[in-house]
Amino acid sequence: MSARDFAANPPGAWGSATPEQWNDPAWQLRNRIQNLEQLELRLALTPEERAGTILAGKKLALGITPHFFNLIDKDDPDCPIRRQVVPRIEESVTNPDELTDPCGEDSHMPVAGLVHRYPDRVLLLVTDRCASYCRYCTRSRVVSGAGEQELSVDLEGAFAYLEKHPEIRDVLLSGGDPLLLADAKLDAILTRLRKIPSIEFVRIGSRIPIFLPQRITPELVAMLRKHHPLFLSIHSNHPKELTAEVRAALERLADAGIPLGNQSVLLRGVNDRVETLKELYHKLLLCRVRPYYLYQCDLITGSAHLRTTIREGQEMMEQLRGHTTGYAVPTYVVDGPGGGGKIPIGPSYIVGMADDRVILKNYRGDVYEYPEVGQPSPADLTR
Ligand SMILES: *Cc1c(COP(=O)(O)O)cnc(C)c1O
pLDDT at 2 over 70: no
87 plus 166 within the same structural domain: yes
pLDDT at 170 over 60: yes
User: Could you tell me if 255 and 334 lie in one domain?
Assistant: yes
CATH of the domain at 194: 3.20.20.70
Whether residue 310 sits in one domain with residue 356? no
Query: How many independent structural domains does the chain possess?
Result: 2
**Same domain assignment for residues 336 and 358:** no
- Domain match, 173 and 305 both: yes
Ligand 1 atom at minimum distance from 335 CA? 15
- Cα(87) to ligand 1 centroid in Å equals 28
- The pLDDT score that the predictor gives to residue 12 is 83
- Buried b / exposed e over 89-112, threshold 16 CB at 10 Å, is bbbbeeeeebbbbbbbbeebbebe
Mean pLDDT of the chain: 96
Alpha-carbon distance of 120 to 168, in angstroms, equals 4
Quick: pLDDT tens for 113-133. Answer: 999 999 999 999 999 999 999
pLDDT confidence tier of residue 326, bands split at 50, 70 and 90: very high
129 Cβ closer than 6 Å to some ligand 1 atom: no
In this structure, the answer to whether residues 253 and 339 fall within a common structural domain is yes
Could you report how far apart the first and last alpha carbons of the chain are, in Å?
A: 69
Cα separation of 361 and 42, whole Å?
A: 51
Per the document, the length of the chain is: 383
Q: pLDDT by residue (tens digit) across 221-247?
A: 999 999 999 999 999 999 999 999 999
Burial per residue of 150-182, b for 16 or more beta-carbon CB atoms within 10 angstroms, e otherwise: ebebebeebbebbeeeeebbebbbbbbbbbbbe
d(CA 50, CA 52) in angstroms, rounded, equals: 5
- Both 123 and 219 in one domain: the answer is yes
Q: What would the pLDDT profile of 58-83 be if each residue is shown by its tens digit?
A: 899 999 999 999 999 999 999 999 99
Q: Quick one: 235 and 366 in the same domain? A: no
Residue 1 predicted with pLDDT over 70 = no
Residues 201, 274, single domain; the answer is yes
Question: Which residue has the least CA distance to atom 15 on ligand 1?
Answer: 341
**What average pLDDT score do residues 99-119 get?**
96
- CA 124 to centroid of ligand 1, rounded, Å: 10
**What is the per-residue pLDDT for 297?**
98
pLDDT band at 356 (very low <50, low <70, confident <90, very high): very high
Q: CA 297 → CA 58, 200, 270, distances in Å? A: 22, 30, 12
Q: Does residue 370 share a domain with residue 253? A: no
Render pLDDT for 9-24 as a digit per residue (tens, 0 to 9): 888 889 899 999 999 9
Per-residue pLDDT tens digits for 33-44: 999 999 999 999
Q: Give pLDDT, residue 375.
A: 72
Looking at the chain, the whole-number percentage of residues with pLDDT higher than 90 is 92
pLDDT at position 379: 76
Quote the ligand 1 centre to 206 CA distance (angstroms). 14
pLDDT by residue (tens digit) across 293-320? Answer: 999 999 999 999 999 999 999 999 999 9
pLDDT of the residue at 15: 86
Q: Give yes or no for residue 166 having a pLDDT over 60.
A: yes
Query: Does residue 380 surpass a pLDDT of 80?
Result: no
Domain residues for 360? Answer: 350-382
The CA angle 207-210-212, to the nearest 5 degrees, is 90
Same structural domain, 271 and 356: no
**Ligand 1: does its nearest atom lie under 6 Å from the Cβ of 342?**
yes
Cα of 118 to ligand 1 centre, how many Å?
Answer: 7
Distances (CA, A) of 31 to 34, 69, 375: 9, 11, 67
Active-site positions? 117-118, 121, 130, 134, 137, 139, 298, 335, 342
In this structure, are 121 and 155 located in the same domain?
yes
pLDDT beyond 70 at 3: no
